[in-house]
Amino acid sequence: MNLPFMPVVLWSDALLFLLLGVVLVFVRQVRRHEHLRAPWRQVGRSRLGMASVVVLACYGAIGLLDSLHFRPQLPAEPGQPVQYAAEVSSLFDVLAGPLRGQAEQTYSAPFATRLFVKKSLHLPDGRVTRDYPRLQYGGAHLSSEAERGPDIAVRALWGALSGLGVAAVLWVMAVLWVARRAGLDRARAWSRLWREPAFGGGRSALVTLSVLLVLGGILLHWAGHYHVLGTDKVGQDVLYLALKSIRTGLLIGTLTTLIMLPLALFLGVAAGYFGGRADDVIQYLYTTLNSIPGVLLIAAAVLVAQVYIETNPDLYDTAAARSDLRLVFLCGILGVTSWTGLARLLRGEALKLREQDYIQAARAFGVSRLRILGRHILPNVSHLVLISVVIDFSALVLAEAVLSYVGVGVDPVMASWGNMINGARMELAREPVVWWQLTAAFLFMFTLVLAANLFADGVREAFDPRSGVRA
Amino acid sequence: MYAYVIRRILYAIPILIGVNLLTFALFFVVNTPDDMARIHLGAKHVTAEAIERWKTEHGYDKPLFYNASAEGAARLTDTLFVQKSLRLFAFDFGQADDGRDIGREITTRMWPSLAIALPTFLVGLAVYISFALLLVFFRATYLDVAGVVLCVALMSISGLFYVIGGQYLLGKLWNLVPISGYEPGIDGVKFLILPVLVGVVAGIGDSSRFYRTLFLEEIHKDYVRTARAKGLPERVVLFRHVLGNAMIPILTGVVVVIPRLFLGSLIVESFFGIPGLGSYTIDAIQAQDFAIVRAMVFLGSVLYILGLLLTDLSYTLVDPRVRLE
């Protein structure tokens, strides 16, 4: 077998797909049981909740595409063994082809046709002037710069129309689906989907998706010809950087959970249910960890991990694998330092559940401890776990930016919003101001975190037994 | 009560030992002094002699736990564990990599930190609680919904943006306050306005929403209905009855951070160029000065445990039913 590329599975990719598998198993489990489905149905009916699910799904899709890594084959010379590029690419890189390759010399503003700084230009007659040179790619297809405005507008129109076209197909499919499910004719199904409160969630999901499709269409029509969000100091397209950062943000938010969850579940429930010596030890453990200031503990561990990576170069073969290793270490460290909150919560809950009648009854019947834990305690604390996982996600995405600023975040060469903000700090002090990199990081991060927060609210409302009491 | 306090202080000792062992393991066992020397010397200058010289200069040329070459008790005391780690218990922090005494740095740098952190904390608390009470006053109206939406939006913005945005708008564009800097005394107040403002605004979303939930839980209780039935104005009901009864959960979250105000905020201090402990720590992290990081970790833990103790004591102030035995 001779593939034109060599698949590369980085550590974080493997963990991400493992996590995806876990989520799929969880979804199957939920679909099978009516009592588990009910709260999710409530989430599905909430309009904000569903809108945020769509946004999160879009981020997730980009993150997953960006996690399928490979090394392309280099042009082979006859007789030589096949060589692969040292640089690791992802499926997303292939899809975003022009964005990735079209690097300018340095800064350029969004939609600019010229560079942001003056350079010495050699005129055809041999003289040298200082002027803003034309960009190599941005607006290069224009025959004169005066066409820029109309060209941008026309492209936006086409993009919006193509986005609307896809959205229209989706709406038709949704109407047909409702019509078939409810046995109605199409006009009735449409008015039902459009008006009835019970369809509020689906409706808002479709509207959000339509908006995203239109935006995506416009971006697609622009991106090949302009730098929509400008370029950074080394001429990289900022839109590409911001999109690449999605994977980093998602990984920090989710892999950390994957590491934190088993620790918190096991230790928290064990402390609460078994009590006695185990409780003392576990409580001591989390009080000790808790007493160290969070950033400092993370910083200390990351510094140590950094030294470890530097002294063990045989752990990685490419630069991508090296920054990936650091990312995985960072997630591990965040996981090990952040299980205490959830563990304390679970301990309290297990302590309460232990005295419940049904648990006492199970014990009286001689059900083994492990079985009680698995069948009775775990399902009854799962809502706490779920709520705290979705709440933690947004906090972790925000934490990445701060940690990168402190210098203990992801690898400085890795695309991440924290690194973008870090790089953009000095740009605001320039005259005139370079504002686009900061704006891009802000927009992408804000959208993700806002969606995650809204989703977390929806989940909490549906799963927290106390939330029904509240006004 | 004194017995309680003494017992709590005694409980703190095993926890601090745990912290001590953990940092020792991180900085000396996982990561040997040789690695440390290699990083500080840089890749070009690493020779066996250079590493040994660096270790001697900084006092790392000792075994970890047992010094076979020493005499008597020194076999146990003339080790890295005792010299570098256990000494922290006597608040003897040793020297930083640049040779300065860490203890003296801490006592001079904690005042600027406090000058920022204390006003941020007090103003913030007042603003968050007032804003939350305002939302509760307008509960189940569009104002309340708008307020909660605002809170969620505000808490979705990274703290870094507040700092950068504040510096850009107030400092650069409108020229109201200096962008960064610090001066002790009354003249320095102009330097404090922006960091305090940024610190307060950055926390508004998270905290106000949290307090709103607390207050909403109280507001449906019987005593609130009774207070209203007596004809008390809503203002008095909210500020005296609801706030008073929500005091325990508020104190739980608030008092514990008071001692840590000394340590300052890493982000705010480094952005605003304030010579406090926060910027000291961030500089140490970036320069990989492990001695300072270790000292700050230990200090942070001590202050946290102090905060827990103060929290318990504060309960007795607001709730006469709480007795510390």
What H or E segment, with its residue span, contains residue A72? Answer: strand A69-72
Whether B99 is in a domain gets the answer no
Tell whether B22 lies on the interface with A, counting CB pairs under 8 A: yes
The ipTM (two decimal places) reads 0.85
Query: Looking at the DSSP assignment, which residues form a beta bridge with residue A72?
Result: A5
Whether B218 is in a domain gets the answer yes
Which residue has 């050699």 as its token pair?
A: A122
Lowest-confidence region among A103-112, B15-24, B85-94, B200-209: B85-94
Question: CA-nearest residue of chain A to B287?
Answer: A407
What does the buried/exposed string (b/e) look like for B51-80 if buried means 16 or more CB atoms within 10 Å of the residue's CB?
Answer: beebbeebebebeeeebeeeeeeeeeebbb
pLDDT at residue B45, as a whole number: 67
Contacts of B300 in chain A (CB under 8 A): 291-293, 296
CB A226 within 8 A of CB A139: yes
pLDDT at residue B143, as a whole number: 92
Burial class (CB in 10 A: 0-12, 13-18, 19+), B151: buried
What proportion of chain B, given as a percentage, has pLDDT over 90? 24
- Residue B81 and residue B110 share a domain: no
- Residue B77 and residue B49 share a domain: yes
DSSP secondary structure of A111-153: T-SB-SS-EEEE-TTS-EEEE-PBPSSTTTT-SSGGGHHHHHH
- Residue B61 and residue B131 share a domain: no
Q: Which two tokens stand for residue B319?
A: 């709730």
Tell whether B267 lies on the interface with A, counting CB pairs under 8 A: yes
Whether B324 is in a domain gets the answer no
Cβ <8 Å between A300 and B293: yes
Identify the residue among A405, A427, A454, A460 best suited for mutation to test binding to B, counting B beta carbons within 10 A and taking the highest: A405
- Residue B217 and residue B130 share a domain: yes
Whether B100 is in a domain gets the answer no
Cβ <8 Å between B285 and A290: no
Cβ <8 Å between A291 and B19: yes
pLDDT at residue A57, as a whole number: 94
- Residue B36 and residue B165 share a domain: no
Q: What are the backbone angles phi and psi of residue A319, rounded to the nearest 5°? A: -65, -35
Cα separation, A24 vs A46, whole angstroms: 22
Domain of B194 in residue numbering reads as 105-318
pLDDT at residue A168, as a whole number: 93
Whether B222 is in a domain gets the answer yes
User: Can you say how many angstroms the Cα of residue B17 is from the centroid of all Cα atoms in its chain?
Assistant: 20
- Higher-confidence position of B60 and A65: A65
| pLDDT tens by residue, A59-79 | 999 999 988 888 887 776 777
Q: Which of these three, B67, B90, B113, is where a domain ends?
A: B90
- Residue B123 and residue B9 share a domain: no
CATH number at residue B210: 1.10.3720.10
Nearest to A202 by CA among A58, A48, A57, A45: A45
Cβ <8 Å between A303 and B285: yes
Rounded to the nearest angstrom, the minimum Cα separation between B67 and chain A is 25
Rounded to the nearest angstrom, the minimum Cα separation between A313 and chain B is 14
Cβ <8 Å between B19 and A292: yes
Q: What are the backbone angles phi and psi of residue A231, rounded to the nearest 5°? A: -125, 160
DSSP secondary structure of A343-364: HHHHHHHHHHHHTSHHHHHHHH
**Count of beta carbons in the 10 Å neighbourhood of residue A379:** 12
Q: What are the backbone angles phi and psi of residue A108, rounded to the nearest 5°? A: -150, 145
Rounded to the nearest angstrom, the minimum Cα separation between A448 and chain B is 8
| pLDDT tens by residue, A141-153 | 777 777 888 888 8
pLDDT at residue A467, as a whole number: 58
Contacts of A405 in chain B (CB under 8 A): 160, 267
pLDDT at residue A471, as a whole number: 35
Q: What are the backbone angles phi and psi of residue A122, rounded to the nearest 5°? A: -90, 115
Q: What are the backbone angles phi and psi of residue A121, rounded to the nearest 5°? A: -110, 135
pLDDT at residue A463, as a whole number: 85
* Amino acid sitting at position A208: T
Burial class (CB in 10 A: 0-12, 13-18, 19+), A425: middle
**Count of beta carbons in the 10 Å neighbourhood of residue B49:** 7
- Higher-confidence position of B311 and B76: B311
Quick one: average pLDDT of B92-106? 81
- Residue B300 and residue B224 share a domain: yes
The residues, any chain, with a CB within 8 Å of residue A150's CB and separated by 6 or more, are: none
DSSP secondary structure of B171-224: IIIS--S-SS---SSGGGHHHHHHHHHHHHHHHHHHHHHHHHHHHHHHHTSHHH
Q: What Å distances lie between residue B242 and A382, B108, B136, B218, B247, CA to CA?
A: 32, 41, 10, 6, 9
What mean pLDDT is reported for chain B?
Answer: 85
Whether B244 is in a domain gets the answer yes
Which residue stretches of chain A have pLDDT < 50? 468-471
Tell whether B152 lies on the interface with A, counting CB pairs under 8 A: yes
- Higher-confidence position of B61 and A200: A200
Which residue has 């004591």 as its token pair?
A: B313
Contacts of A287 in chain B (CB under 8 A): 15
| SS3 of residue A73 by DSSP | strand
pLDDT at residue A4, as a whole number: 74
Whether B261 is in a domain gets the answer yes
Burial class (CB in 10 A: 0-12, 13-18, 19+), A385: buried
Tell whether B134 lies on the interface with A, counting CB pairs under 8 A: no
Cβ <8 Å between B263 and A293: yes
Tell whether B38 lies on the interface with A, counting CB pairs under 8 A: yes
Identify the residue among B136, B158, B216, B296 best suited for mutation to test binding to A, counting A beta carbons within 10 A and taking the highest: B158
Nearest to B264 by CA among B273, B253, B252, B277: B277
Tell whether B26 lies on the interface with A, counting CB pairs under 8 A: yes
- Residue B144 and residue B51 share a domain: no
pLDDT at residue B43, as a whole number: 65
Q: What Å distances lie between residue A238 and A141, A228, A404, CA to CA?
A: 20, 8, 18
DSSP secondary structure of B141-162: SHHHHHHHHHHHHHHTS-HHHH
- Residue B282 and residue B245 share a domain: yes
pLDDT at residue A469, as a whole number: 42
Q: Which of these three, B90, B117, B143, is where a domain ends?
A: B90
Cβ <8 Å between A296 and B27: no
- Residue B114 and residue B12 share a domain: no
Whether B323 is in a domain gets the answer no
- Residue B300 and residue B241 share a domain: yes
Cβ <8 Å between A407 and B19: no
Q: Which two tokens stand for residue A30?
A: 């939920």
Tell whether B257 lies on the interface with A, counting CB pairs under 8 A: no
Quick one: average pLDDT of B149-153? 92
Which 8-state DSSP code applies to residue B66?
Answer: -
Nearest to B264 by CA among B71, B62, B105: B105
Tell whether B148 lies on the interface with A, counting CB pairs under 8 A: no
* Amino acid sitting at position A218: I
Q: Which of these three, B90, B121, B141, is where a domain ends?
A: B90
What H or E segment, with its residue span, contains residue A90? Answer: strand A89-90
Positive or negative: CA dihedral A228, A233, A236, A241: negative
Rounded to the nearest angstrom, the minimum Cα separation between B71 and chain A is 33
Domain count, chain B: 2
Cβ <8 Å between B156 and A453: yes
- Residue B248 and residue B172 share a domain: yes
Rounded to the nearest angstrom, the minimum Cα separation between B297 and chain A is 6
Cα separation, B209 vs B308, whole angstroms: 24
